[in-house]
Chains A and B, each alone.
Chain A
Amino acid sequence: AQSVTQPDIHITVSEGASLELRCNYSYGATPYLFWYVQSPGQGLQLLLKYFSGDTLVQGIKGFEAEFKRSQSSFNLRKPSVHWSDAAEYFCAVGPPYNQGGKLIFGQGTELSVKP
């Protein structure tokens, strides 16, 4: 079955510290991979995506993610967290070719930032 696992429901980091949010997926083929961020009461904003090529992808707001095929993982990282990064983060996977456009989301990781 296709699934996405975000093992950490809630993470707290200090401002200025580094961050890594984990994402593992189960899929028949290499899917398209996405990270979205959602501030309270807001829509989802695309941080970055991976379709093919270089396995280290850069996104907006200083985020990056690395695709590791052998580990079926797509972890999100940021070297120095800012207080404004506090939000909910969703990892999502989609089919490698247009097959209905269904995204499968993980359960989300809530990030809190300590001053």
Chain B
Amino acid sequence: DTEVTQTPKHLVMGMTNKKSLKCEQHMGHRAMYWYKQKAKKPPELMFVYSYEKLSINESVPSRFSPECPNSSLLNLHLHALQPEDSALYLCASSQVGGGTADTQYFGPGTRLTVL
């Protein structure tokens, strides 16, 4: 099973709201990723967690706050977002350690609209 699940599928929020995106995988992967994707563009990496520790932050604004409570779960907390943050947010996971371990499997995404 190579499934990554994401909730919610769609989210509409105002600029003063606080919301969270959730990602879950049960493949035993120890690396998890958040990507942002605008229309007609490739995904842009935001954060990487490796063994539940933040290993990469691609200079993402602090209004995005990731959290990895355990090896299966990844959250993205959103606060005071701007309309330009509207996008498809993708979660991915992979094993850690080189070889075929680096294949990333993606979830279906959360379509976020900021009003």
Tell me the bound Cα distance from A67 to B102 in angstroms: 18
One of B12-20, B43-51, B68-76 at the interface: B43-51
| Contact pick for A107, options B4, B6, B42, B106, CB 8 Å | B42
- Cβ contacts B73-99/A at 8 Å (1 or 0 each): 000000000000000101010101111
* Residue in B42, B48, B92, B97 with the greatest tally of chain A CB atoms within 10 Å: B42
Contacting pair B102 A44 (CB below 8 A): no
Contacts of B97 in A (CB 8 A): 98
Name the residue on A nearest B111 (C-beta): A41
A8 to B28, CA, bound (A): 37
Q: Smallest CB-CB separation from B10: which chain A residue?
A: A41
When the two chains form the complex, which single residue of A34, A43, A45 contacts B103, counting CB atoms closer than 8 Å?
Answer: A34
Residues of A within 8 A of B31 (CB): 101
Q: Given A36-B106, A41-B111: A105 and B101 within 8 A (CB)?
A: no
Is the C-beta of B105 less than 8 angstroms from some C-beta in chain A?
Answer: yes
Evaluate contact between B107 and A101: CB separation under 8 angstroms.
no
CA distance A9 to B97 in the complex (A): 34
Contact A51 B45 (CB under 8 A): no
Mark out the residues of chain A between 56 and 115 whose CB falls within 8 Å of any chain B CB in the assembled complex: 88, 90, 94-98, 100-103, 105-108, 110
Q: Is B33 an interface residue (CB 8 A)?
A: yes
Contact of A98 among B4, B40, B92, B102 (CB under 8 A): B102
Contact of B94 among A36, A101, A106 (CB under 8 A): A101
Q: Which residue of B lies closest to A39 (CB)?
A: B108
In the bound complex, do residue B98 and residue A97 qualify as a contact, i.e. CB atoms below 8 Å apart?
yes
Query: Does A42 have its Cβ within 8 Å of any Cβ on chain B?
Result: yes
Contacts of A94 in B (CB 8 A): 102, 104
In Å, the complex CA distance between A105 and B111 comes to 20
The chain A residue sitting closest to B108, CB to CB, is A43
B56 within 8 A of A: yes
Binding site for A on B (CB under 8 A): 2, 4, 6, 31, 33, 40-43, 45, 48, 50, 55-56, 88, 90, 92, 94, 96-109, 111
Q: Can you name 25 A-B residue pairings with CB atoms under 8 Å?
A: A41-B88, A41-B109, A43-B6, A43-B90, A43-B108, A43-B109, A44-B90, A46-B2, A46-B105, A46-B106, A88-B40, A94-B102, A96-B98, A97-B98, A98-B96, A98-B98, A98-B101, A101-B50, A101-B94, A102-B45, A102-B48, A103-B104, A105-B43, A107-B41, A108-B42
